[in-house]
């Protein structure tokens, strides 16, 4: 249902993605692992077109974009089909939790306000924040702010949610509550691509694990294949360092 073909991206002379091919089936949770600087975040940002790939094709559902010739309309369509959860939450500071979630529904999806409000309350309740609708980000813990970020993505009802290191800015005691919410929505069959260093989460929740290094996919497989029987030397070295 999501198919990336030959995705390449350079920043100046540095080629950060070197022809990435990746397929994600509906309902799968794909975890992307790899050393810092290997291109994981850039790959996620390319899917949402926060970065423009220099080359390649992105297909989400029945919509297919040739990145070399993408127009505004194509980018809009890709963004309708995917939603991003950011490392630093990226909430509007002057808006409440409810207003943060409603924003995309009203402004981008053009839903009537009452419907947007209903849907936003529903997803905020789902992430355990039904009691914090009127709180501003500064009145919420990091874990709660990230749960607002997840609710905002969920509310858009995208075909895929892209998580960019969703727990790496959190104090250790707050990581669990955010992972629990991600687990819960994964269990509902929502397709996800997750960049994370949380190996326990990857092992338990991923249907598929991708190991990236230096802008290429070195190896991919089930969690069991990657964690227990990695084939490539670079994967083995990485896992040895991190586990």
Contact positions vs ligand ADP (CB under 6 A):
11, 16, 34, 36-42
State the minimum distance, in angstroms, from the CB of residue 99 to ligand ADP: 29
State the minimum distance, in angstroms, from the CB of residue 181 to ligand ADP: 22
With H, G, I as helix, E, B as strand and everything else as coil, classify residue 81. helix
* Residue listed under structure tokens 């919410």: 181
State the minimum distance, in angstroms, from the CB of residue 120 to ligand ADP: 30
Q: Which lies closer to ligand ADP via its Cβ, residue 104 or residue 166?
A: 166
DSSP 151-213: HHHHHT--SEEEEESTTTTS-HHHHHHHHHHHHHHHHTT--EEEE---HHHHHHH-SEEEEEE
State the minimum distance, in angstroms, from the CB of residue 123 to ligand ADP: 27
Q: Which lies closer to ligand ADP via its Cβ, residue 41 or residue 144?
A: 41
CA distance 166 to 187: 18
Q: Which lies closer to ligand ADP via its Cβ, residue 34 or residue 158?
A: 34
Q: Which lies closer to ligand ADP via its Cβ, residue 52 or residue 68?
A: 52
State the minimum distance, in angstroms, from the CB of residue 164 to ligand ADP: 8
Q: Which lies closer to ligand ADP via its Cβ, residue 39 or residue 223?
A: 39
CA distances from 85 to 76, 178, 218 (A): 18, 12, 25
């Amino acid at each position: 249902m999501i198919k990336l073909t030959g995705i390449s991206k350079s920043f100046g002379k540095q080629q950060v993605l070197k022809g990435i091919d990746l397929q994600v089936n509906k309902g799968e949770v794909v975890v992307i692992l790899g050393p810092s600087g290997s291109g994981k975040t850039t790959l996620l940002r390319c899917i949402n077109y926060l970065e423009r790939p220099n080359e390649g094709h992105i297909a989400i559902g029945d919509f297919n974009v040739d990145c070399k010739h993408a127009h505004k309309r194509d980018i809009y369509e890709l963004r309708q089909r995917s939603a991003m959860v950011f490392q630093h939450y990226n909430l509007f500071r002057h808006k409440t939790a409810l207003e943060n979630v409603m924003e995309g529904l009203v402004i981008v999806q053009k839903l009537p306000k009452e419907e947007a409000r209903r849907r936003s309350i529903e997803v905020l309740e789902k992430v355990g924040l039904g009691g914090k609708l009127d709180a501003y980000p500064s009145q919420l813990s990091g874990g709660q702010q990230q749960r607002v970020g997840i609710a905002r993505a969920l509310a858009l009802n995208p075909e895929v949610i892209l998580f960019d290191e969703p727990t790496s800015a959190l104090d250790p005691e707050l990581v669990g509550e955010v992972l629990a919410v991600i687990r819960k929505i994964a269990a509902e069959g929502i397709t996800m691509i997750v960049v994370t260093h949380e190996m326990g989460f990857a092992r338990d929740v991923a249907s598929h694990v991708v190991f990236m290094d230096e802008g290429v996919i070195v190896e991919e497989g089930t969690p069991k294949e990657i964690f227990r029987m990695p084939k490539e030397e670079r994967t083995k070295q990485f896992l040895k360092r991190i586990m």
